[in-house]
Amino acid sequence: MKLSKFGKKFSRHSGIVQLMDDLGSAMAENDEMLMLGGGNPSHIKEIQDLFQHQLQDIVDDRPRLDALLGNYDGPAGEINFRKGLADLFKEQFAWDITAENICLTNGSQSGFFTLMNMFGGENEDGSKSKILLPLIPEYIGYTDQGLSEEFFVTVRPKIEMLDDHTFKYRVDFDSLEITDDIAAICVSRPTNPTGNVMTDDEIEQLAILAQKHDIPLIIDNAYGLPFPDIIFVDAKPLWHENIILCMSLSKLGLPGVRTGIVVASDKIVKAIGDINSILSLSPGSWGANIAKGLLEDGEIIRMSHEVIRPYYHSKALKALEVIKREFDGLDYAVHKPEGALFLWVWFKDLPISSYELYERLKKKNVLIVSGHYFFFDQVEDWDHSQKCIRMTYSMDESVVEEAITIMAKELKALQGK
């Protein structure tokens, strides 16, 4: 069987494929695997009870159920959800926004595939446009999104040591250059994998740079404000027509419904809707219908701020306590956990690569993610990229503790300690 260039590119080995394969195998095939590798959100009972109530309302309303199961939505997605979300954003943040500024996609991953290839790649004149990632390490799922090669331009961060075992990445604006081939700037906030939350000032500076060069700033807000609000530091959401704000229902607790949300200018929303029609006819309806009732009276914001945010903050702090205890004697530093579901750990004197550490731990039924996948084109010539790992703390606390304990033993054995 002969595959096209597209077929070969999107079926080759990649970090996101390995991550999802590991996640699927751990969830379905190996009950003993300690899963610190994936991004699956926790099953929070209070949140799941809310979803069950919404689903029951749908099932009890036969005309609504028939419409949900039997009708296509429009290419931009369920209109009443989009209207309700626009009203919520207008009320909460005074954004000049309507349903025409909101488009749904079949998960934010597919939404990013659409967006990045709308701006990056080969142009009609044969030139190539690129996406600028101003702060790496950055989300593993971007790596293979481009239809063409050499799709991203990346910038190393400044590394600020906060104490002996804590550090933070910051945007190095002195090294940031917007060349003619840059078609968009893209950041995740909070950042997956590190849990970094770019400051309001950093985001404002990037937005000003984007406007100055007449390119969009794409903000991946999958963990951010106002929902699911997995942010542990002061931050404010930002949107205007030069910003493309990408959200999701996954980390709210609904990864299975595959609902991505794009907030953008009406022209960009119309383009995404047209692409939806070509790729999938229309986005799925379940996520929008489950979440629609949570928009009333800002319930989706309340549950995010009062339940989801403190739940994950508590889990992050407990995981840090275990790391501090078990990693005693190791030369390590954890990125300051400011949000998302992950801890990012830098082992400064790791004698093997982070991928080799991943392989060794996998044999001991501990799954992490090797940090090198998150560094894009900086892997080969930056030693730092081979000494970091990502672990999630969203699993049961006993699982997290056992996995960290096994990891610490392996690291100490590697270094003869």
Residue 123 burial class via C-beta count within 10 angstroms: exposed 0-12, middle 13-18, buried 19 and up: exposed
What is the rounded end-to-end Cα distance, in angstroms, of the chain? Answer: 51
Query: Is this model's pTM higher than 0.85 or not?
Result: yes
Contact indicator for 379, 385 with CB cutoff of 8 Å: yes
Q: Which residues contact 21 (CB under 8 A, 6 or more apart)?
A: none
Where in the chain are the domains? Answer: 5-46+303-414, 74-300
- Give the angle 344-349-353 at the CA atoms, nearest 5°: 70
Tens-digit pLDDT string for the chain (417 aa): 888 877 777 776 665 666 566 655 555 555 788 999 878 899 999 999 999 999 999 999 999 999 989 999 999 999 999 999 999 999 999 999 999 999 999 999 999 999 999 999 999 999 999 999 999 999 998 988 988 888 999 999 999 999 989 999 999 999 999 999 999 999 999 999 999 999 999 999 999 999 999 999 999 999 999 999 999 999 999 999 999 999 999 999 999 999 999 999 999 999 999 999 999 999 999 999 999 999 988 999 999 999 999 999 999 999 999 999 999 999 999 999 999 999 999 999 999 999 999 999 999 999 999 999 999 988 888 999 999 999 999 999 999 999 999 999 999 999 876
- Give the angle 132-165-237 at the CA atoms, nearest 5°: 40
Q: Does domain 74-300 have CATH number 3.40.640.10?
A: yes
Cα dihedral angle (279, 154, 167, 253), rounded to 10 degrees? 0
**Cis-peptide into 190, omega within 30 deg:** yes
Q: CA–CA separation, 52 vs 363, rounded Å?
A: 38
- CB atoms inside a 10 Å sphere around CB 27: 13
Residue 400 burial class via C-beta count within 10 angstroms: exposed 0-12, middle 13-18, buried 19 and up: buried
Class of 5-46+303-414 in CATH: alpha beta
Residue 339 burial class via C-beta count within 10 angstroms: exposed 0-12, middle 13-18, buried 19 and up: buried
Residue 128 has, within 13 A of its CA and on its CB side, a CA count of: 12
Contact indicator for 364, 406 with CB cutoff of 8 Å: yes
